[in-house]
Structures are given as structure tokens and as C-alpha cells.
Amino acid sequence: MNKLIKWGLPLAGLGVLAAGWWLGLAWAPPDREMGDVQRIMYVHVPLQWMAMLAMFLNFVAAVSYLLRGNGSWKLDSTAESAAEVGLLLGALGMVTGAIWGRPTWGVYWSWDPRLTSEAIMLVTYTGYLVLRRFVEDPDKRATWSAVVAILGAINLPIVWFSVRWWRSLHQVQSSPKTVDPQMVLPLRVSAIGLLLLTIYFLVTRYRIALAERQAEVALPDALPGASASVVPDAHKVA
């Protein structure tokens, strides 16, 4: 099982992703209006889907952590890994979107509601990860960051539905009904490949996070600044 995740998952993910990209680059027809430029969709759209999925996982883990009571390091580690992987994928998705936007719209960046809400989302999760670095006590870090994750997750539906609420530059989400079947297939295959890779990233990062948490809880004195923060904290707000 362990070997399967360590070697099988990334290899399968890369293989499926390669197949999807080959289909997208060589097999699918070019777009009627955008031509070959449109082929970046097979990279950009799966990245954004997986970013949303990871952020949603972060939200679910945060809510479960608060409901389950304290001390569930597995849920806290899930939340941390999901936020980091989601931020990475979302940032890559934004860069590929900008590369797509330059030839299509004439600009790398426009203050379109989709782009703006996505940027807000990425900054929100950056803040979440920064908060995690600035709190030493693992219990407090887990609770506080879960609260921050829930407050930040209110943005996610705004990002997702922004293209429908404010019809502007960014096109509406594509669906098999609106896209040629020859484009749906490579998009689906690329998304499945990236999904496998995302799961691999999540599992790997989760294991690191869990090991860190367990080390922190087992050896609190070994933490940097641990001896300094124990006494004054008792008199502070939380």
C-alpha cells in the first residue's frame, strides 16, 4: 500500500497527465476563435479545479476539527496540507491564466471579478499559512487556523460563481454541453491525471505535517521559543 502511494500514484498521475496533454496538443482540434492558444485550457482548467478541491478539503478539515474537539492532529495536518497544495495549484492556475489572457484579451491581468476574487482567495490562504507559522502552541495553532480557514472559505463560492454572477471578460465554466466532445476528452483525462498527482501531493504533505505535529506534541520543549512562550501565554487573552 505504502509503495503504491509512493511510486504508483505519481507515476500513474504523470502517465495520465501526459496522455491528456498529448490528446490536447495533438489530437483535439484548435479552437475556432483562439486557435492553438486555447490548448492551454488543458493545463489551466484542471489546475483551477484541483485548487478549488484542495481549498474545499481545507474547509471540511477545519470544520471537522472544530466539531471533533481538540487534539485531532490528523484533521489539522489535513487542513495544512490542503491549504498548501491548493495555494500552489491556484497560483500556477493564475499564472497559466495570465499566459492565456495575454494573447486572448491583450492583457495579462484585467480587473475582472473572476480574476479579482481568485487573487483575494490566494492572499487569504497565504494569510492562513502565515498565521500557522507564527503560532508555536500546536493546540492554539490548530484551533485558530481552523477559525481563519472557515472565515476565508466564504470566498470559495464567490470565486466559483463569479463568472455567472457578473458576466464579464472571463468565460463561464465550460461543461460537456457547451464544449466539443473532442475537447472534453483531453480535458477530462488531464483533470484525472492532475487529480492523481494532487492526491499524491496531499498525502505526502499530510504525512510530513502529521510527523511534525506528533514531534511537537511529544517534545514540546524542543520547539524553538517554547520555554519563552509557556509562562506569559497563560496571562494573555487565549
Partner 1 sequence: MSRPAPLGVLGATLALLRKDLLIEWRTRARLNAIVFFALATLLMFSFALGPDTRLLEKNAGGYFWLAILFASVLALGESFRIESENACMDGIRLAPADARAIYLSKALGNALLLVALGTLLLPVMVALYGVKVVTGFGDLGLVLALGSLALSAPGTVYAAISSNARARDVLLPLLLFPLVIPALLSAAKATTLVLQGDPMNQLNSWLGLLLGFNLIYWGVGFVLFPRIIED
DSSP state at residue 172: P
- What's the count of helices (H) and strands (E) in the chain, helices before strands? 9, 0
- Please choose, from the candidates 202, 170, 200, the residue with its C-alpha nearest in 3D space to the C-alpha of residue 41: 170
Q: Least distance from C-beta 213 to partner 1, angstroms?
A: 18
Binding-residue pattern over the window 64 to 93 for partner 1, x denoting contact by CB under 8 A: --x---------------------------
Nearer to partner 1 by C-beta: 41 or 121?
121
Report the alpha-carbon distance of residue 77 to residue 212 in Å, rounded.
Answer: 9
97 Cβ contact partners less than 8 Å away, ≥ 6 residues apart: 44, 48, 115
Interface stretch with partner 1, choices 5-13, 45-53, 92-100, 230-238 (CB under 8 A): 230-238
Binding-residue pattern over the window 129 to 148 for partner 1, x denoting contact by CB under 8 A: -xx--xxx---x--xx-xxx
Distance between terminal CA atoms of the chain?
42
Report the alpha-carbon distance of residue 9 to residue 166 in Å, rounded.
Answer: 39
Is residue 165 at the binding interface for partner 1, with CB under 8 A as the rule?
A: no
Q: Least distance from C-beta 60 to partner 1, angstroms?
A: 16
Report the alpha-carbon distance of residue 190 to residue 196 in Å, rounded.
Answer: 10
Q: Least distance from C-beta 128 to partner 1, angstroms?
A: 8
- Please choose, from the candidates 41, 12, 7, 26, the residue with its C-alpha nearest in 3D space to the C-alpha of residue 193: 12
Is residue 151 at the binding interface for partner 1, with CB under 8 A as the rule?
A: yes
Binding-site size for partner 1 (CB under 8 A) equals: 31
Nearer to partner 1 by C-beta: 23 or 122?
122
Give contact residues for partner 1 (rule: CB under 8 A).
66, 120, 123-124, 126-128, 130-131, 134-136, 140, 143-144, 146-148, 150-152, 154-155, 158, 225, 233-238
